[in-house]
A and B are shown apart, each in its own frame.
Chain A
Amino acid sequence: MNPLQLLMLLGQAVIPLLANMGKHHQAELLTDALAAVQAGKNIDDIMAQAVEDWKVNGEPTYDQIATARLAIQARMGE
């Protein structure tokens, strides 16, 4: 377990304790903080994978980046 996973686990354990103590606002703040961190972590994981890809395959071409963007645009589902 890395430090981030440990901190996330601790945070999730603290949320019900805060709620039980009647500190609902604080529990909500911590829930939001964890959700924000999770979103940031997801993006960071993608960036870390891009670092590995760059090191193994060399810098990506603009065509490769554009292809990935088009796939993301198609996922937006309006």
Chain B
Amino acid sequence: MKKIIALFAVVLAVVGCTGTRGLYELADTPTQYVKVVLIHHNALGTEVADLRADPTVSQASKAKLLAAYRVTVCGPNEHVEIALCLNGPAQQLEAAGRAYEALHNAKTEADMQKALTQLVGLMSTLINLVNGAK
């Protein structure tokens, strides 16, 4: 029975990822790829906000979701509410993307790659939490 349930989940997950795959396929340039990652981050944030408003989701899950989202938009020294955070990994990637868009050189590319790696790692945690929320 467990195998059937696992298979069912895999089939559903595969069927349900066409939009995400489609958006990543639209990106032809590094800066477009950064924009897609940032849009994906916003999509995750939207789902986190929805789950936090869902009365069937446990308080423990809501707290974990909030903490996981917070580290994507707030810097380690920003001890303010999330709405006021200005310098998290998402904003750093955004700034790096803007810089690369304005000036393509080795430094802006390296900065963008570094910021991308940091945010994607945190998004991976967020994705796992969103999928495990109940």
Contact = CB atoms under 8 A, between A and B. Distances in A.
Contact of A43 (B26, B43, B85, B98): B43
B26 to A, nearest CB: 6
Q: Is the interface of A mostly helix, strand, loop or mixed?
A: helix
A23 B1 CA distance: 10
Nearest to B74: A73
Which of B11, B42, B85, B94 has the most chain A CB atoms closer than 10 A to its own CB? B42
Contacts of B133: 35, 39
Given A48-B22, A76-B82, A69 B131 contact: no
User: What is the predominant secondary structure among interface residues of chain B facing chain A?
Assistant: helix
A45 B78 CA distance: 32
Given A11-B8, A76-B83, A40 B94 contact: no
Contact of B66 (A51, A55, A78): A78
Interface of A: 3-4, 7-8, 11, 18, 23, 26, 29-37, 39-51, 54-55, 59-60, 62, 65-66, 68-70, 72-78
Contacts, number: 146
Interface of B: 1-2, 5-6, 8-9, 11-13, 15-20, 22-23, 26, 32, 35, 38-52, 66, 69-70, 73, 81-83, 85, 90-91, 94, 97-98, 101, 130-134
Contact of A39 (B39, B41, B52, B131): B131
Given A42-B50, A44-B20, A48-B19, A69 B5 contact: no
Contacts of B15: 3-4, 7
Given A30-B8, A39-B131, A46-B19, A65 B2 contact: no
